Amino acid sequence: MTMKAAVMKGPRQLVVEEVPKPKPAKEQVLVKMRYCGICGSDLHYYESEHTPPGSIMGHEWVGEVVSKGAGTTKWSVGDRVWPGVLHSSGWKWRPEYGWDRAALVRASRVKDMGGYGEYAVYHQDEVAGVPQEVADIEAVMADQAATALGGVRATQLQIGEGLLVVGAGPIGLWALRCGQLAGANPICVAEILEGRAEIARRMGADMVVNPTRTKVREEVAELFQGKGPEVVLECAGAPGALQFAFDVTRPGGRIAAIGLSDHPIPISIWNLVIKAIKVYGVIDIDFAGGMEIIRHKKVNCRDFLTDIVPLEKITEAFERLLHPVDEEKIVIGYEQ
């Protein structure tokens, strides 16, 4: 039997074709996809020469267990699941990952993420249940909520502290919302694209600035009593974004580096040392917390959703997100 999947053939070569439908092995489940969001990291993999040909990407999915392998005890047919765990079963960090990005891509589950195919198999420990109160289109947002919440947790953001969010893409908007829920005050968002900046304004940011404008550092400092924010969540991953975070953070402040970049990012070591800034790389994202925010209806997930498109239009969606105007989250929808 076969299924449709979007298969990587090379950089910016994503082809929808018929591939063998997988079968669950021992302690595995076969998941029928319902939705899969396009993540910013997928855009990096889409353009990268290091992404293994034959990869079926997609890790922001929600689906239904349709069959089980022998020895699978955690799930029943019909259960709704999502990839709400940090690492795949058996995944281990190795020293070479620290200096060879290609090694990390090869050894991670990039090749077999599976959300851009109609079906995928996972070990029973690699998936988490979707609460009954959470709709499918909400569940597909939980990974982004978890990532943003991971930045809040890493910096130990306190009620009443000033927050700057750099980047108003999907993760940046979730960082804005998580900062609001955590009690940050005031909150500033830095975004170059006016379409995305306007969404941040609608979502209640106290100030939205274009970080490329002159005098912007002075404007940001003024919002935070002339000192700059205590906490910065850097969600853009663009060259210059992290340096901007160092420039405006107050002495003793904390920065969470959330955004990814395929290019070296220069920073001024003077700002880091003289200001005694603490920097946190965010990998321990809060999956359970992200889903709980959604379960308790603390957000309207439609705020983040730009479009739902069929699998056949996935390449068009990727290209839109590489050059966004006001696009935020585009989700691949499968027939229910």
Residue 295 lies in a domain: no
Q: What is the mean pLDDT of residues 41-63?
A: 93
Are residues 206 and 122 both part of a single domain? no
Residue 256 lies in a domain: yes
Distance between CA atoms of 192 and 196, rounded to whole angstroms? 8
Q: What is the mean pLDDT of residues 242-268?
A: 90
Give the predicted TM-score (pTM) of the model: 0.93
Within 10 A of 151 (CB to CB), how many other CB atoms are there?
29
Residue 258, domain CATH: 3.40.50.720
Residue 332 vs residue 336, higher pLDDT: 332
Give the range with max mean pLDDT: 93-97, 106-110, 245-249: 245-249
Residue 92 is part of which domain span? Answer: 2-130+300-333
Residue 136 lies in a domain: no
Q: N- to C-terminal Cα distance for the chain?
A: 19
Residue 271 and residue 277 in contact, taking contact as beta carbons nearer than 8 Å: yes
- Residue 29 — φ and ψ, nearest 5°? -125, 145
Are residues 91 and 208 both part of a single domain? no
Closest CA relative to residue 285, chosen from 88, 124, 85, 141: 85
